Amino acid sequence: MTAPDTTAADTAEPSGRPVVAADGVDLVRNRRALLDQVSMVVRPGEHWALIGPNGAGKSTLVSLLSAQQHPTRGSVEVLGRLLGRTDMRELRRHIGHVNPRHDLRSALPGRAIVLTGATGSIEIPPRWEPSAAESERAEYLMDLLGVTAQRDALWPTLSQGERGRILIARALMPTPRLLLLDEPATGLDVAAREQLLASIDQLRREHPGLATVLVTHHLEELPESTTHAMLLRSAQVVASGAVGDVLTTKLVSTCFDHPIEIERRDGRWSARAARTAPGPAGL
């Protein structure tokens, strides 16, 4: 299936403006720093990975990028709009956010779930009917993400991998310029993970202006198309920049406070505990 004629995801920000610009951001809750002097610039067509141990601040940063909350100090601009001086609810309509903990309580079929991306709701609103263009886009996105066969399958019967790809299609319904993927490979077996990553790579090829930010703990979950990375530890940035400069043995080991060997082969990363020298003979 060919793409609909107009997709905002293929359109760069006016005058080349960043999609995200966070400068010196602190976020404090109950006197605890969840983010400490975090800065980040994401431009159209860039694909960022946020990596770090549990509690590092990854999901907290995504909550700012998704216009769910405001920073305590510093500034955050998303799609050219400054948080604290814009309508957060309206801004969220232009951001695609994929949360594997999608709070769906009805046994909706796959196509209906994708279409809820057009309404910005979890359930289909009463008496709402999609337009011809919305129906066409839903079919296109399901084809792109490889879940056309699940269009009539009910949510409880879908595998975790199928759910993940349907939620990405849902997030793309309003043609966002920013797509946030919060641990999309959570709970997937190896085959389902590889299908998901292939779908993300295909999505990025077909929508070259789309910017994405993907949260993960595991380097094996990074698509080949990843361009940039940020390492977070204890609410602070350890390193940030081009993926090849950031995902190194030294920096990742520092981030996780453990010796970790990093290898990149055919565009994909792997990590393992660094080998230690053998002890004296007989020990």
> Each residue of 229-265: pLDDT tens digit?
999 999 999 999 999 999 999 999 999 999 999 999 9
Task: Give the residue-averaged pLDDT of 82-103.
Answer: 85
Domain residue limits, the chain? 8-104+177-273
Instruction: Enter the tokens of residue 171.
Output: 């997030």
Residue type, 31: R
Say yes or no to pLDDT of 205 above 50. yes
pLDDT (0 to 100) of residue 71: 94
Q: In this predicted model, which residue has the larger pLDDT, 9 or 141?
A: 141
Quick one: fold of 8-104+177-273?
A: Rossmann fold (3.40.50)
First to last CA, the chain: 64
Encoding tokens for residue 188? 């997937």
Return the number of other C-beta atoms located less than 10 Å from residue 7's C-beta.
18
The span from the CA of 152 to the CA of 154, in Å, is 6
Tell me if the pTM is above 0.75.
yes
Q: pLDDT digit string (tens) for 116-142? A: 988 877 888 888 888 999 999 999 999
Q: According to the 3-state scheme, what is the secondary structure of the chain?
A: CCCCCCCHHHCCCHHHCCCEEEEEEEEEECCEEEEEEEEEEECCCCEEEEECCCCCCHHHHHHHHCCCCCCCEEEEEECCEECCCCCHHHHHCCEEEECCCCCCCCCCEHHHHHHHHHHCCCCCCCCCCCCHHHHHHHHHHHHHCCCHHHCCCEHHHCCHHHHHHHHHHHHHCCCCCEEEEECCCCCCCHHHHHHHHHHHHHHHHHCCCCEEEEEECCHHHCCCCCCEEEEEECCEEEEEEEHHHHCCHHHHHHHHCCCEEEEEECCEEEEEECCCCCCCCCC
